[in-house]
Structure 1
Amino acid sequence: MQSQDVAQRPAPPSSAGPVVDVEQAEAALVEHYPRLVRLAYLVLPPGLGRSRRVLTAHALAQRALPRNRTPAPVIPAQHGGPPCSSGVESLGDGRDGDPGYALVRLQVLRMALEAGLPLKRKAWPKRSQLPPVLPQVWGLKLFPRSGGAEELALDQRLSTLSGPARAAYALRGLERLADDGVRKVLTAAGVADADGALLEADGIPAQYGLLDSSEFDPCSLQARPTDLMRRRQHLKAALAAGAALLVCGALLGLPGEGWGPDGAAAPPYARNPAAQAALDPAKLTRVSPTAWRGSARTDFSVWPARGDLTGDSSLLRRALTVWARPGETVRVSATPGTPSGGPAGPPQLLYAGTVDVARVVILYDGLRIARYAEPKEGTQGAALDFARVDGAGRAEAGAVVLGRADGNVRYLTAPWVKKAGERDLMKPGSGAMDLALTDGVTAPLASPVLRSGACTSWNVLQLTDGTKTRLLTDLGELVPARLTAGRPGSPGEASGAEALRTWGPFACSLGTVRSAGVRSVSAWAFNEQPLPDASGSAAWVCTRAETWRGGGARVLAQFHTPGGTYGAVAAKAENVLACGARQPHVLAGVLWKSKAGDWYLLAAGSRETASIRATGGVGGSSQTNLLTVPAERGARAELKGTLRDGRSIGGLR
């Protein structure tokens, strides 16, 4: 029982640690708030329900601030992070794991464990065992965005663990602590049997990468109404008792919340004729299998309906009705910027069939792709996913995700696709492995976003339509992102030999734009720089992820030294024009350590850069688009550049 795993009086932090001021603890709490809330959410007992766990996790994180100067525990060492080029340090890197963070992390963990203790008759409940007073949200239920099948399976496995075991798993995965470090933190938090908690956590596969998913992010939320009928009844009763009785009688006659003819759908709110017409399976738009051949458009609007269940009216009705009004048990997700409301009219049917262990329906309304999935038996556990695809052309409308299972992903391809293959983007010299196509459905291929552990490969989908060969990558959404390479404004497909060599060292950086509504990602090798120790030349590459909503583009400037497997992120920015068609310029720098142990500031700009100047912790200038200056480890520098036309450009940060 959990009451035996957690001591009644938690051990205080070790006096060997430094004393933390309230201001230092507050700074750590504000800086790492999302991480602390995620840790609390993972440790809290699943029986609270997703909505209450979200609010409780925020409440615990906000209560973690000490009232006065407090000794902090000794900070356990972390495991190494993701692989990167040795000796490269970003100019903007920060450092977590400070004493202030260690103190508030311990307090959050302690309260989250206490929240799972059973209440006792002869003892007052602890504050963490009671529903939080603040924050509170009235009239809405808040819960994290749904992840994929792997995240759901991990959440179910975590729910079977005790509180200390969930804490051990979270500290290993989120904090990357070694077992000795986990044992110290659990003991400081009051866990009586830390070794037992670690042993219990060993029973779950080490899918630590999934803990960064939106499934476990209580800071990125979806909102749904609470019991609307009950609220309406109370309001009517307050205005007029007689009117309230009539309204209650009418509401009681509506369908209940059980599994009725509409499956996982919620009760209807209105009988609008146009809305009802959109729910009629007989009125679904179905395109001829040869329509795309003579159409001026080659996008989702000319995809034919495929699958073995296109004639199953009951399944189609459930899919349409759940789209219009998803019930509380339906897992709904949408890419950023995608509305999740019902269709304005009858949508187009793209697919209805059996995929692995589920029945899947893919619909298109001209703006969005909607995927409805339910188990083969019953409708318990139904899911509804949305992706924005307005403005998609032949390049972006090449494939849609049908389903993910066992670390693999299966796609439905466009009718013009003649050949499909699987390629490891990290191995540009290797060829593509052919994938079988059955009525447009690919054989399963490994999904990079479902992988756990270190990034050692990045498998992408290669599609050939008779004119071009394109690469698409799964980023955890319905529509895979297109990969391109080349100068902004005129990039080419990433399937060519030179483009593949450009992408090779930087494939793992695609994980940074997972679930961000990405339409395409382009890689641009904007410069090469001779290294000051004569060990060769380093490559500078800029990657830019464009989104379906237009805004929110994410830019990374990356640096790759000879012989290295991975590139290192030198700078990153969001919502900037740099490295894009409207501003095809970029300037970035890194601190680099030579084999002899000397540190340098290396900076590079695109070919239109005429000069570079560094100020701040490192001073120096160059009248070319490359800069090499001796520096000290940990130095911070500001970069400014001048373009050939006289305009100024700032360093990407």
Structure 2
Amino acid sequence: MRHGRDESTPDPATRSDPNGTGARARRSDRSTRDRARQARGDLVALCRRRLDQGAVRRTEALVVGRYPELVRLAYLILPPAMERHRRVLAAHALVQDALPGRLRDLGRAPGVAGMSDADLVRLRIVRGALRLNRSTRRRALLPQVWGLRLFPPTGGADEPAIEQALGRLSGPARAFFVLRVLDGLDPGEASEFLLAAGVEDVLAAETEADAGAPEPRPAAHSDAPGSVPDLLRADPFDPCTLRATPSDLLRRRRRRHTALGVLASATMIATIAWHATGGTDPSAGGGGRADRAAPAAQPVGGPPRSIPTGAWVGTTRLDFDVWSTRGTRARDEALTRRAVRAWTDPADGTPVTLGRGTAAGPPTGAPRLLYAGDVAGATVVLLADGTRLARYTDDHGRRTLDVAAADDSDERSASAVVLRRDPSGVRMLLAPWVDEAAVRDLRRPEDKSRPLAITDGVTAPMPDLGTAGKGCATVPVLELLAGRAADNHPYLLADLGELSATHLTYMPPPDYVHTGRPVEAASSERALGVWSRTACALDTLRGRGLRLVNNWEFAHFDLPEAAGEAMWSCLHAFDRTGGGDVVVQFLPPGATATGAQTVNRLADSPACSRSGNDIVTSTWWRSRTGAWYLVAAGTRDVAKVTASGPVSGSADARQLVIKAPPGTLPPPPPALVANVRNGSTIKTLG
């Protein structure tokens, strides 16, 4: 539903202030007394509405009639970092839970009682989506889907850029942008919604949305093809238009066999007990017949589809969907049919290896052919079906198939695929938009990268990270340069034992001085220096189906006794299912990668991501004089840190240092509580 005046006609009060900063400040500086007076009236009005069954029926009709529009609103506000299947279900759950009947609209948001039924529904959806932005570990009761993974269809040229731009915004800023562009609210109305949804700093959310989100075209052109409102209403952002793929069939098969085994054992024990107590033969009354196995899916026949050279040039979407078909044997139809048959029906004895979190089953539709050729004495065929990659290898008659998830890729994480590992090294197939390739040792940031030859997209052998150096002596990674990625700055990928290489990124500390180079590309001098001191942690992340590993330098400060500066790093490893492992490290002055101290290690945690960017952690540090100190650090918005336990103290800062009593060995680190600027409190990671 549209609200407010035509956006093409500016408010007279804002003509002299084109950015609207003064108006926003006046809106955010609302009188507390007026809000309290209005809240008392809201309490009475909302209690009456809650008991009004007619209002409930009207709202139910509204939700049903506008269901696709409301689900799209929830889907766009939810964090894009959330795995798409969970994000779709969460969006539907938020809308289905938007009916009145609870006291959730009462409290900190005066004025909501005067809202229309439609606005109250929208408020509940926005508030719920913002709550999930703060904690993606929440699970909705309904709807639930077993055996299938659901996600919107693949988009065209501009949708990935909008998705990435929205992903860079905080939850409140993304909500402000979506309410403005998708629902057509003016800035004042969108701000009122954020205020009613519990956002403390509405002005900061508006400023961030204006600076970081895609700019909508003028209202007169909002219906033009390619405009931001038009793209947000396209199928890739529609959680009611979905594709379905099977979940992990092999895991379900193992669970089914385990359940049948337990059931058979229980039946045998019950039969023995029945006979032991003089019961009759349980089979006397007729026996049941075992259920037959479900019929297998029909395999997809025919050769794979070829992608023409330069398919990626005319689109802004850069991922595996636009890779060109390459290789000297791309026209060998017998070979490529054999590879497709190994994927659709691997009953000929070809072993199939599934990457972590990868759905089993045949390809969805006719797969695309990315490569077919001879690599280091073996024949290799690389296929893709939109969500997965499949590598078929024929090594002198020994045939294997490796399948890995490939969804949610972008121009960097879809830049390199491992074609062949052998004693001479690792050969990779690079994306067609990659211009140059080199090998860099993460342990030695001062060394220059070594150029890597490329032939028809295939690199010369580079050192295998899994066997390159014992004791983390060397950590070789791939350094790529592409005019269409990372603003033509080098970016790094690591071979972590997967089918596709993992993108390495870097997030600087709050006081970082921007140099003009995209910090997330991890190729700046500071980024390389931080990675050189934390690179050994990559070995603990091998084989986990990772798309990206971000290295966040979230704190650094001077230690006592003039020891120098210490650094805190948090590595968040993003997989393709929404999960991610977290490794927090403390690096005292002078510590190299082998001297880094792992403080926290968490599995499937949102910490150190957009969904959990407030953390506090601590450890013990020993100075040169032998004294022990408790050192604690928090992230950007931590305002106070308090320790309680064997040693106690507090500091009105992001860091805390406490000297242990002399002559005592350090006990386990005490419990920490940190106060965040938004008024909330957080505890130590763990």
Q: TM-score, normalised by structure 1?
A: 0.56
Q: Does 2:680 match 1:647? A: yes
Q: CA deviation at 1:647?
A: 1.1
Residue of structure 2 in register with 1:564 after alignment: 591
Q: Displacement, 1:347?
A: 0.4
Q: Tell me how far apart the structure 2 counterparts of residues 488 and 611 of structure 1 sit (CA, whole Å).
A: 18
SS of the aligned residue for 1:373 comes to strand
Q: Kindly, what percent of the aligned residue pairs are identical?
A: 38
Question: Is the alpha carbon distance of 1:504 and 1:474 closer, same or farther for their aligned partners in structure 2, counting shifts above 3 Å?
Answer: same
Q: Which amino acid aligns with 2:475?
A: W
Residue 407 of structure 1 and its aligned partner are, at CA, apart by 6.2
The answer as to 2:447 corresponding to 1:438 is no
Contact kept, 8 Å, 1:592 with 1:601, in 2: the verdict is yes
Aligned to 2:341, what secondary structure does the other structure show?
A: helix
Structure 1 residues 166-565: aligned runs within 5 Å: 272=298, 275=299, 278-281=300-303, 284-327=304-347, 329-375=349-395, 377-378=396-397, 380=398, 382-406=399-423, 408-451=425-468, 453-466=470-483, 467-487=488-508, 492-551=520-579, 553-565=580-592
Question: How big is each residue's C-alpha offset from its partner over 1:121-161, in whole Å with a ceiling of 9 and x where there is no partner?
Answer: xxxxxxxxxxxxxxxxxxxxxxxxxxxxxxxxxxxxxxxxx
Contact 1:309–1:352, Cα closer than 8 Å, also in 2:
yes
* Aligned counterpart, 1:58: none
* Alpha carbons 2:468, 2:476 under 8 Å: kept: no
Q: Report deviation, 1:353.
A: 0.9
Other structure's SS at 1:292 match: coil
One-letter identity of the residue aligned with 1:628: V
Post-superposition CA distance 1:502-534 (Å, at most 9, x none): 211001101121111111111121111222232
Deviation string for 1:514-559 (max 9, x for gaps)?
11111111112111122223211111111111111112x1112211
- Work out whether 1:599 is the aligned partner of 2:628: yes
Output the amino acid matched with 2:489: K
Mapped to 2, the partners of 1:499 and 1:558 lie a distance apart of 16
Deviation at 1:279, TM superposition (A): 2.8
> 1:615: which partner in 2?
644
Q: Which amino acid aligns with 2:367?
A: P
- Contact 1:367 1:388 (8 Å CA) reproduced: yes
Letter in 2 for 1:279: G
Tell me whether 1:582 sits opposite 2:582 in the alignment.
Answer: no
Which amino acid in 1 is paired with 2:497? G
Q: Which moved more, 1:309-318 or 1:508-517?
A: 309-318
Q: CA deviation at 1:609?
A: 1.1
Return the alpha-carbon distance in structure 2 between the equivalents of residues 224 and 434 of structure 1.
48
Residue 633 of structure 1 pairs with residue 662 of structure 2: no
Structure 1 Cα separation of the partners of residues 640 and 296 of structure 2: 65
Alpha-carbon distance change, 488 to 584 in structure 1, aligned in 2, over 3 angstroms: farther
Encode CA deviations 1:207-229: one digit per residue, 9 max, x unaligned: xxxxxxxxxxxxx9995999xxx
Greater C-alpha radius of gyration: 2
CA offsets 1:32-84 (integer angstroms, 9 cap, x no match)? xxxxxxxxxxxxxxxxxxxxxxxxxxxxxxxxxxxxxxxxxxxxxxxxxxxxx
- Superposition deviation, residue 394 in structure 1: 1.1
Q: 1:224 to 1:288 in 2, by over 3 A?
A: farther
**CA 1:222–1:441 in 2, change beyond 3 Å: closer, same or farther?**
farther
Whole-Å separation in 1 of the counterparts to 2:341 and 2:679? 59
**Distance in 1 separating the partners of 2:414 and 2:348:** 32
For 1:534 and 1:468, locate their aligned partners in 2 and report how far apart those are by CA, in whole Å.
37
Q: For residues 329-354 of structure 1, what are the alpha-carbon distances to aligned partners after superposition, in whole Å with 9 as ceiling and x for unaligned? A: 43322222211211122100001111
What whole-Å deviation, never above 9, does each CA across 1:400-454 have from its counterpart, x for those lacking one?
1111111621110011111000001111111110000000101111121234621
Q: How far did 1:365 drift?
A: 0.2
Structure 1: runs of 5 or more not aligned: 1-219, 227-237, 239-243, 248-268
Query: What is the root-mean-square deviation of aligned Cα atoms in Å?
Result: 2.8
Gaps spanning 5+ residues in structure 2: where? 1-250, 258-282, 284-288, 511-517
Distance 1:351 1:535 in 2: 54
Change in CA separation of 1:502 and 1:644 when aligned onto 2, cut-off 3 Å = same
For the structure 1 residues 370 and 634, does the alpha-carbon distance in structure 2 shift closer, same or farther, using more than 3 Å as the test?
Answer: farther
* Contact kept in structure 2, 1:571 and 1:589, CA below 8 Å: no
Report what 1:624 is aligned to: 653
Q: Residues 328 and 628 from structure 1, CA distance in 2 versus in 1: closer, same or farther, beyond 3 angstroms?
A: farther
Contact 1:474 1:480 in 2 (8 A): yes
Mapped to 2, the partners of 1:499 and 1:432 lie a distance apart of 15
Query: By how many angstroms is 1:366 displaced?
Result: 0.4
Q: Who is 1:111 aligned against?
A: none
State the 1:487 CA deviation: 5.0
SS of the counterpart of 1:361? strand
| Contact 1:292–1:303 under 8 Å retained in 2 | yes
Structure 1 pair 523–328 and aligned structure 2 pair: CA distance change class (3 A): same
CA offsets, 1:227-255, max 9 Å, x none? xxxxxxxxxxx9xxxxx9xx9xxxxxxxx
Amino acid at match of 1:332: V
Contact 1:407 1:450 in 2 (8 A): no
Distance 1:564 1:296, change over 3 A: closer
For 2:560 and 2:652, how far apart are their aligned partners in 1? 17
Distance in 2 between residues matched to 1:426 and 1:452, nearest whole Å: 11
Secondary structure of 1:291's counterpart equals coil
Task: Give the conservation status (yes or no) of the 8 Å contact 1:641–1:648.
Answer: yes
> Per the alignment, do residues 373 and 633 of structure 1 end up closer, same or farther by CA in structure 2, a change over 3 Å counting?
farther
Q: Secondary structure of 2:536's match?
A: helix
Higher relative contact order (CA 8 A, sep 6+): 1
Contact 2:507 2:553 in 1 (8 A): yes
Distance in 2 between residues matched to 1:571 and 1:393, nearest whole Å = 29
Show CA shifts across 1:241-270 (max 9, x none). Answer: xxx9xx9xxxxxxxxxxxxxxxxxxxxx87
Contact 1:591 1:633 in 2 (8 A): no
The alignment covers a number of residue pairs equal to: 386
SS at match of 1:333: strand
Q: Contact 2:509–2:553 (CA<8 Å) still a contact in 1? A: no
Aligned AA for 2:562? A
Instruction: Return the alpha-carbon distance in structure 1 between the equivalents of residues 388 and 519 of structure 2.
Output: 26
- In structure 2, the residue corresponding to 1:450 is in which secondary structure? coil
Counterpart residue type for residue 578 of structure 2: G
1:12-51 → structure 2 map (5 Å cutoff): none
